[in-house]
Structure 1
Amino acid sequence: MKKLIAFDLDGTLAPSKSKFDPRMVALFDKLLEHFEVCVISGGKYELFQRQFLTQITTEPHLLSRLHLMPTSGTRYYRYEKGDWQEKYAENFTSEQKKAIIAALAEGLKESGYAVAKTYGETIEDRDSQITLSILGQEIVAELGEEGVRIKEAWDPDGTKKLKIRDIVAPKIPDFTVRAAGATSIDVTMPGIDKAYGMDKLMEATGYSKSDILFMGDKIVPGGNDYAVYEHGIDCIAVRSWEDTAYALEGIVSAI
């Protein structure tokens, strides 16, 4: 029997940068009663707070079973002594940040995909990861469901993101440049992906690959969840948070 269930966030537990649906909140709380749970995402910790931490259970004994891994596992948080504690953070130096930010700005301009209207920052320094969001980081916060629709329609087959990635990557060869969310490009140190995050999680918990089940909406070649599958961890591929909810209903009903 699995001991820990790990999830991608956007597209798997909720629409992009959106809050959990009440159905998912109830299932997530129920899951914590029986399993340890991990959420791993390219997003920053503050986005975890916005999307689900303020909605789910406040029971300390349940929150202590939750593992938070923002920025693809380069940061790790646990609930201890009544609050979320950062256990480690693998941050860039200031010089590395400058080089990455410049390359992302140049790459977006050269691609021809820069848009006239953006919402919030387009390049966000997440300390251990730097992310380009072509439409802006706050499009969903400002526009709600319409923002989700615009994001999903901007690059449905992923070709625009891949073109930007291919322009940026040669500019900063010492880093990994990855097409990530619906409208985003992530830059990390080499070797940083969700498989790396799972290794860090196993190191922290003592669990093995066979103890973990992972769910994600990008478990396809080129997708940012695929590395977990290639790493030999059992996975369930989903297309939306509704698919995930359906799978979780089956899991909790069998307990």
Structure 2
Amino acid sequence: MIGHGCEVPLWSDVDVESVADRVRLVAFDLDNTLARSRLPMSGDMSRAIAALTRMLPVGVITGGRFALVTSQVLSMLDDTADLSSLHLMPTSGASYYRWDGSGSWRQIYAIDIDEHRRHAVIASFERRARELGLWEEHVWGERIEDRGSQITFSALGQQAPLEAKLTWDPDGSKRQRLTQAVAADVPDLLVRSGGHTSVDVTDKGIDKAFAVTRLSQELGIDVGQMVFVGDRMSEGGNDYPAAKAGTMAIRVAGPHDTLQWCDRLLKALRPVRGRTDQTPLPTPH
């Protein structure tokens, strides 16, 4: 487990052979880890993820909704991927999907915020963003998205280009001010910075630590036997809770790093195990 203030190792500094000996599941953040914001995975990444699914369970844990997992990940996988090995956890683990074996994805659970509190969050986002001068005149797409289990404010809109996102709040201070203001309005909910321009609200306790812990319970795999790969692994980043929970956390700067890490892990896994060496997974319930 990562101690307070400790740095998560960069992918290139990790002993991949040691990881290959211990790992029973590999989980990934999505945006800027598997793919650029809102864009599909590359062909090379898709082939690497498909190869991993044939060796061991693979999780995708993201603050985005299921539709984004579909467009960025699932739409890019071909029939060489073992879909039964995929574990999809949108909205930071507030919902969980498994392949049902008959052509569709089954929702195993969803932890939704009740309607009254969702309305309160939406009203707070608009009021506080206007007060703080963060209600931008021009946006690309939806600004406040009600995902049921998560409410997300995207300062530049859901479809904003990556270049605009990267320059809007490079030091995170705008998101921090908005987070603090909204948290004061809805103290019974968890308010935290999301992506480059976003702030997310979920029920308290719903973060990527919750997600990997819940996945551990669902599959009977110790958290310490899980790898979690993410780009926001500094303290305060939305991937950092997965490191704090005790996973073998790995830091990347973007999809290019992730692909290189996957290639290294696949080479290390092939001599020592195949997909059939894994403990059989439980069927969805």
TM over 0.5, yes or no? Answer: yes
On the 8 A contact 2:213/2:245 being kept in 1, the answer is no
Q: State which of 185, 210, 215 in structure 2 corresponds to 1:196.
A: 210
- What is the aligned counterpart of 1:162 among 164, 176, 182? 176
**Is the contact between residue 168 and residue 197 of structure 2 (CA under 8 Å) also seen in structure 1?**
yes
> What is the alpha-carbon distance in structure 1 between the residues aligned to residue 164 and residue 44 of structure 2?
24
Report Cα offsets for 1:207-234 as digits up to 9, x if no partner.
1012211100011111001111111111
Tell me the distance in 1 between the aligned counterparts of 2:133 and 2:79: 46
Deviation by residue 1:78-119 (Cα, 9 ceiling, x = unmatched): 001221111111111111111111111112111112211111
Deviation >6 Å, runs of 4+: none
**Which residue matches 1:143?**
none
Q: Which has the larger radius of gyration?
A: 2
Q: Normalising by structure 2, what TM-score?
A: 0.84
Q: What residue is the counterpart of 2:130 in the other structure?
A: 109
How far is 1:57 from its partner? 2.6
Aligned length in residues: 247
Looking at structure 2, the residues matched to 33 and 208 of structure 1 have their Cα atoms a distance apart, in angstroms, of 20
Q: Tell me the equivalent position of 1:85.
A: 106
Structure 1 residue 30, shift from structure 2 partner: 1.1
Q: State which of 62, 71, 74 in structure 1 corresponds to 2:91.
A: 71
Structure having greater relative contact order (Cα 8 Å, sep ≥ 6): 2
* Counterpart code for 1:104: F
Aligned with residue 241 of structure 2, among 212, 216, 227: 227
The percent identity for this pair of structures is 39
Unaligned runs of 5+ in 2: 1-21, 271-285
Which whole-Å deviations, capped at 9, do the CAs of 1:31-85 have from their partners, x for residues lacking one? Answer: 11111100000100001111111111335x7000000000010100000122111
1:144 corresponding residue in structure 2: none
Which runs of structure 2 are paired with 1:1-150 in the superposition (5 Å)?
A: 1-58=22-79, 62-80=82-100, 81-139=102-160, 147-150=161-164
* 2: CA distance, partners of 1:190 / 1:52: 28
Q: Distance in 2 between matches of 1:210 and 1:17?
A: 30
The answer to whether the aligner puts 1:177 opposite 2:191 as a matched pair is yes
Contact 1:120 1:138 in 2 (8 A): yes
- Residue type of the alignment partner of 1:93: D
SS in 2 for 1:107: helix
Is 2:222 aligned against 1:208? Answer: yes
* CA-based RMSD: 1.1
Q: Is the 8 A contact 2:225 2:248 kept in 1?
A: no
TM, length-normalised to structure 1: 0.94
Distance in 2 (alpha carbons) for counterparts of 1:15 and 1:111: 28
